[in-house]
Structure 1
């Protein structure tokens, strides 16, 4: 399962590059994080980094991604907004202001919620007839 990660704001390309480098440091995610670029606008030098694509295969990659994303957000200063889009077009939005002030228990819960959402999506993709009970 591949997820797409975009950043919003004036520094979005810098944030995406920083996040890409941060996630690539994780052994479980090494080789699974790629930049999605669009061609340069006329009169500019080089392509524009629009998003990151993260291939989440085994369960360890899902956990590493959730943990890495939240940890990276905690290191950010200012207004950083990240949107993770899943293959079914549902999305999850996170921002640094809400994550930076979390205590340890709340932080662990946030990571668990992100990992759970990604795992459920991954399981549903593996078995399209599998449905969540109400």
Structure 2
């Protein structure tokens, strides 16, 4: 199962580059994270990093992705909005301003929610997911 990760805002491309580097440091995700580029706009040089594609195969990759994503968000300053889109087009959105101040229990809950959502999608089981899901 591949998930797409996008970043909103004027610094979105830099945020995606940072997230790609962060996730690539995880042994479980090494070689599973690729940049999705779009052609350059007229008058600009080089392609634009539009999203990340993350291949989630075994269960360990799902957990590593969820943990890595939340941990990366906790390191961000300012407003960062990340959208994870699943193959069935359902999605969830995470904002750094809501994740950075979480205590250990709340952080563990966020990782568990992301992992459960991805695992249900991967297994093709469970109730249908809403098109958009925002984690508290």
TM-score (norm 2): 0.92
Cα distance change, pair 108–131 in 1 and its aligned pair in 2 (3 A): closer
Counterpart in the other structure of 2:13: 13
Greater Rg, structure 1 or structure 2? Answer: 1
Deviating above 6 A after TM superposition, structure 1's stretches of 4 or more consecutive aligned residues are none
Counterpart in the other structure of 2:67: 67
Taking the aligned partners of 1:21 and 1:103, their CA distance within structure 2 comes to 25
> Which range moved further: 40-49 or 73-82?
40-49
May I ask how many residue pairs the two structures share in their alignment? 128
RMSD: 1.2
1:14-65 Cα shifts (integer Å, max 9, x gaps): 0000000000000000000000000111111100000000000000000000
Please tell me whether the aligned partners of residues 5 and 85 of structure 2 are also in contact (alpha carbons under 8 angstroms): yes
Please tell me whether the aligned partners of residues 120 and 126 of structure 2 are also in contact (alpha carbons under 8 angstroms): no
Counterpart in the other structure of 2:78: 78
Counterpart in the other structure of 1:117: 117
TM-score (norm 1): 0.93
Alignment of 1:1-134 (within 5 A): 1-124=1-124, 130=125, 132=127
